[in-house]
Chains A and B, each alone.
Chain A
Amino acid sequence: MGEQAQMATAIAGKQMELEGTLGAFQLPDVMRFLAMGSMTGVLTLTNADRIMGLIIKEGRLIGTTSPNRMLKLGQLLISSAAIRRRDLEEVLECQRDDVHGTAHIGEMLIQRGLVTAEQVSQALELQAKEELWEALSWTEGTFKFEHGLTPSMTRSMFCLEIGSLLDEGAERMEQWREIDRNLRDTDRVYRVRGDIAAIPETRLKPNTWRVLSLLNGQRSLKVMIYLCGLGKFETLCAIDNLLSMQLIEPVESVKLPKTEVKAPEPAQSPSPAKDEESEETPGLLGLFSRRRRTPSTTAESVQLYQGQCGPFLTSVGFGCALLNRLSERLGSVTQTDDLTAQQLLTQELWAGEGLRYQRADLIEWRDGRLDSSRFDQYMVHAGSNTKHMIGCLEDSMAALAAVGREMVRRADDAYGPRAERMIQDVTRYFCERVEVGWPGDFSSRGWIQQWIKGE
């Protein structure tokens, strides 16, 4: 150990970099080595799927960086009901406008008085631990330690001793291996069993009950991890616990038959339709008119917007129509292509990306399309009192944006510049022609630009 410490001090003194493979060096050994030398810098870990950075200051973990991390700080704070999505979006907007690019989300939220420093530090701690637990489970990959930190990196809201962190990690890894064997597929959906005999006599642990309370037979493990706000490890532990108690069971995945999805019509240049009210109207307007039949009072209100060019009751209806139309447009490039409309916008994509946003589940997947009629119905019933729907609206629009982004990414991968032109055609039409009833200040152009470009 003494030699290791001397070597670490020597490396620090000479500003040498330290790198290697995780196959040759175990991550805990590397981290202990850095902790022993009280080093400061970023330990970058890379494997086939991910890249992450552990920010270490004087031998202590003070933060993590990850471009595609699963649990983002904003999402964690929303899941724990600390902030609203609107607050997060406003802060993110400000962050984008920050020319220096040094603004930190957590600090901005604290400055605005939306959360306390303790809430942010707890969320960041959870985030860092989740990252570390995942990195500890890697068996392959590389590591590289670079000395020195940028000024933005040195602003830390938590500080974790690497020794105790690794001890906790080692303990969790034992449990994690068992859980990982059972719950490897995070796209799997679990449901609560319907037999009464399964109801436990004893009281469930708080985390277990929290996870149980969010299961509805539609949310995948990945979505549950997002929604619970407990982190991947704790969420999957709770799921494993519920499975062992035989309270839940996996839902057998049902593949939608191809016949259920109607072949998209050939793309046509949108024009103000003369037969706007006809349900059989081909083209884009026809898509909007294919709404689920709604009974009683809702039907009348929704009818006002059906088949018309432009006016949508809500921005959610607009978003759904846009994605449906985009999917059809992109999917109609050629029927012989492997990538079809069904693969661009799928139930799995919606379930995996869209339902990560808790209150977006009023948007339903029906007949191979996204359907906003339930959301619209609630909107009609709400009348002028829409305060209680704002959260649902925000999450729904965020979910649609996330799904749209993924669609564009897939189309870009498949068609390249052709896809981009088609996307521009569709979005331009929607930006120019479409009217949205609620929210009144909705800007279709701004939203489209946001979801295409934004993160």
Chain B
Amino acid sequence: MAGESILVVDDSLAVLDMVQTVLHDQGYHVTSVSNGTAALTCPSLEDVSLVVIDEQLDGLASRETMRILKQNAPTHPIPILMMVPEEGLTQTESVSMGGACAYMVKPFDPQALVRKVEQVLDQQRLDELSNQYLADAADRMMTQLADKQIAGAVERKTQLIIERCIQNITTTIDQRARAQVDEHVTSLVADKEQELVKLTVREVAQSMVEKLAASKVEEAMNVILAEQTDRAVRGAGDKILPNMIREKVKEMLTNMLPREVESRLQKAAEKMVPEISQQIVGTVEEVAKRAVPRAGRELLPAVVEGQVATAVDQVVPRRVSDLVSRELEKQLREKLDPTVREEAARIRRNVIVINSVVGALMLAGMAVMLWLNYGPK
């Protein structure tokens, strides 16, 4: 196969020209240099398919050049054909190749040179082919081995990953669960707190309602008490007082003397008032007990009692006394007015008389006493 690039190294330009002419006629591209350094620094060295080198070079020795070519990775695969001078050959000594894959004796037959070059290039192609096969086989084996290793490694790694994943998942779940529990607890606590707050609010509200109710009850009680008391007093007044008064008046009027009538009437009136008051109170209590709402009694019996007692103590006597006095006054005015007025006028007249008499007596008595004490001794 022609077309390959061949680098020829020889210190003789004539030899270079001959080799170039022979190989160029076969279709090879030939680059010629006269020393090893130029060969190693050739710009197109990496494209060279074959190096043909003279064994005897000036400067950098050919074997050193070949060694460097073989040591460098890019130029290592390039086959080397060494040209050995005929006079340098002996029958007993074998040719030291020194990195070359073939040698050629100089001077050379041009056809022999062409054959040798083709042979070396064929060998190189075969080597490349076998290297390619070997490389492919090695690749396959390496691939298999690598697959196996990778599979094992993947399995181990997967196991590790799974374990880590599980661990991560567990951790995550744990964290999430904790978070959720915390969240729930927080929410529950919040609910509870809310509930408690509500409860408390409710209780507070209830207590406030109760207090409000109590105050309302109190107000109602006050109103009811006032009404009931008013009513009771009025009823009592209506029921009891006229009769009693009438009876007493009648009794007084009937049984007493006009003077005694006055004192008795006065005494009777003084006595009647507390009793009537107590009766009124009793009546009011009963009426109140019936009238006051059960809730009020249940919730605040003591208060009610206290309030009632206080009210009764503070208000009732005053009011009763007022009412009684007003009622008495009214009843007396209405019922007893004519009689009493009459009797009173009569009593007043009698009293005036009596008082005048008593006064006179007293004056007389006083005069007596004064006379006795301060009179003539």
Establish whether residues B13 and A385, one from each chain, have CB atoms under 8 Å apart when the complex forms. no
A383 closest partner in B (C-beta): B109
Establish whether residues B38 and A359, one from each chain, have CB atoms under 8 Å apart when the complex forms. no
Give the chain B neighbours of A295 by CB distance below 8 A: 86-87, 89
Q: Give CA–CA (A154, B108) in the complex, Å.
A: 51
Give the chain A neighbours of B87 by CB distance below 8 A: 294-295
Taken residue by residue from 207 to 233, chain A's Cβ proximity to chain B (1 for < 8 Å, 0 otherwise) reads as 001001111111000000001000000
Establish whether residues B34 and A215, one from each chain, have CB atoms under 8 Å apart when the complex forms. yes
Give the chain B neighbours of A396 by CB distance below 8 A: 14
Question: Which candidate, B56-64, B132-140, B261-269, B347-355, is the interface stretch facing chain A?
Answer: B56-64
CB distance from A83 to the nearest CB of B (A): 14
Give the chain A neighbours of B37 by CB distance below 8 A: 192-193, 198-199, 212, 247
Q: Give CA–CA (A15, B318) in the complex, Å.
A: 169
How many residues from A make CB contacts under 8 Å with B? 47
Establish whether residues B13 and A193, one from each chain, have CB atoms under 8 Å apart when the complex forms. no
Centre residue among B35, B42, B109 by max chain A CB count within 10 A: B35
B94 within 8 A of A: no
Contact of A193 among B18, B59, B108 (CB under 8 A): B59
Give the chain A neighbours of B300 by CB distance below 8 A: none
Establish whether residues A212 and B41, one from each chain, have CB atoms under 8 Å apart when the complex forms. yes
Establish whether residues B18 and A196, one from each chain, have CB atoms under 8 Å apart when the complex forms. no
Question: Which candidate, A3-11, A179-187, A372-380, is the interface stretch facing chain B?
Answer: A372-380
B109 closest partner in A (C-beta): A381
CB distance from A380 to the nearest CB of B (A): 7
Establish whether residues B107 and A385, one from each chain, have CB atoms under 8 Å apart when the complex forms. no
Give the chain A neighbours of B42 by CB distance below 8 A: 209, 213
A382 closest partner in B (C-beta): B110
Q: Give CA–CA (A199, B69) in the complex, Å.
A: 12
Establish whether residues A199 and B40, one from each chain, have CB atoms under 8 Å apart when the complex forms. yes
Establish whether residues A215 and B35, one from each chain, have CB atoms under 8 Å apart when the complex forms. yes
Question: Which candidate, A35-43, A157-165, A387-395, A413-421, is the interface stretch facing chain B?
Answer: A387-395
Given contacts A361-B13, A377-B86, whether A385 and B60 have CB atoms under 8 Å apart is: no
A296 closest partner in B (C-beta): B86
Establish whether residues A212 and B35, one from each chain, have CB atoms under 8 Å apart when the complex forms. yes
Given contacts A194-B61, A204-B41, A381-B107, whether A361 and B14 have CB atoms under 8 Å apart is: yes
Establish whether residues B86 and A192, one from each chain, have CB atoms under 8 Å apart when the complex forms. no
Interface residues of B in 13-51 (CB under 8 A from A): 13-15, 17-18, 21-22, 25, 32-38, 40-43
Taken residue by residue from 341 to 372, chain A's Cβ proximity to chain B (1 for < 8 Å, 0 otherwise) reads as 00000000000000000111110000000000
A291 within 8 A of B: no
A363 closest partner in B (C-beta): B14
Establish whether residues A193 and B60, one from each chain, have CB atoms under 8 Å apart when the complex forms. yes
Q: Give CA–CA (A361, B12) in the complex, Å.
A: 6
B227 within 8 A of A: no
Establish whether residues B17 and A192, one from each chain, have CB atoms under 8 Å apart when the complex forms. no
Establish whether residues B14 and A382, one from each chain, have CB atoms under 8 Å apart when the complex forms. no
Give the chain A neighbours of B86 by CB distance below 8 A: 294-296, 298, 377
Chain B positions near chain A (C-beta within 8 angstroms):
11-15, 17-18, 21-22, 25, 32-38, 40-43, 57-61, 64, 68, 86-87, 89, 107-111
Chain A positions near chain B (C-beta within 8 angstroms):
191-194, 196, 198-200, 203-204, 206, 209, 212-218, 227, 247-248, 294-296, 298, 358-362, 374-375, 377-378, 380-383, 385, 387-389, 391-392, 395-396
Interchain residue pairs A-B with the least CB separation, the first 7:
A192-B59, A217-B58, A216-B11, A213-B38, A388-B21, A213-B33, A216-B34
